[in-house]
Structure formats: structure tokens, C-alpha cells
Amino acid sequence: MNILYLILEVIIDIAIITFPIYFASKLVSKHSSIGRAVIAAFLGPIVFLIFYSLVGYVLSAITSYFYIIALVIAFLVLIYFYSIIFETSFAGGVLISIISVIISYIIEVFLGHYVSVFKLSLDHLNLAIQMEKLLELSVFLP
């Protein structure tokens, strides 16, 4: 049941991330669509993590500031990824990143409490499922 909970949480997180990216890309690009925003929301963090890990691993042998350099390079790759997905310039990718962060902040201010309560209720549901499994196991104990 944990895998189902994890899949549900990933879907909710992607849905929450998709809308700021979609609205930001609508302002910047003619090639904006909800499908492209979902792809950007799903693959963007994966691309960021891969480049951050690879660059950090390579640079860790060279300098002690590897994490800062890896963070900057991974962020630049993410901006380039946005510019490819939405068929815009690198500056358009920068604008999409900045505007989506601003929109995300506004959404978090107005709806953050409700989203947090919903995620908290999912956490309680997962805890209840785990407790139920423990109770079922304890019935068979002598």
C-alpha cells in the first residue's frame, strides 16, 4: 500500500507544480500547453537531479565548492530544458522559471494551508492503513 500512497503523492505534487509552469509558459511562449507543462513538471526535477548529481560527483574531486557550482550548472540545464520544452529562447526559459516561482508563491500563500491539510490527511490515511496492517498481524500472534 505504500507504493500506492507514493504514486498518489507524486501525482498530487506534479499537479500542484504543473499549473504555475503552465501559466508562466502561457505568458512567455506561443507553444504552451498543459501537456508540455506536465512534461516539464515531471521531467524537470529529474533532469535537475541527474545533472546536479553528475556535476557534483565530478567536481567533488576538484574543489570544495562543488555543490554551489553543481547547483548553478543544474539550474542552467533546467532553464535550457524549459526553453526546449516550450520552444523559446534561453531568456524565455529564465522568465518561465522566475514567473512560475512567483505564481507558486502566490498559490502557496492563498492555498498553502489547504494543500498542507490535504497532504496531512493523506499522511494520516497512510498511518491508519499501517496501523490496520499491524492489528491484522497481531490477531495471529499467540
In angstroms, how far is the first alpha carbon of the chain from the final one? 26
Give the list of residues 6+ apart from residue 94 with CB closer than 8 angstroms, or none: 79
Give the list of residues 6+ apart from residue 12 with CB closer than 8 angstroms, or none: 118, 119, 122
Total domain count for the chain?
Answer: 1
pLDDT in tens, 2-53: 777 777 777 877 888 888 899 999 999 888 899 999 999 888 888 888 888 8
- Tell me whether residue 71 is in a domain: yes
Angle between helix 90-139 and 66-85 (nearest 10): 100
Global confidence as pTM: 0.70
Domain span at 64? 2-104
- Tell me whether residue 132 is in a domain: no
pLDDT in tens, 80-119: 999 999 999 999 999 998 898 888 878 777 766 565 555 5
Helices (H), the chain: 2-28, 34-59, 66-85, 90-139
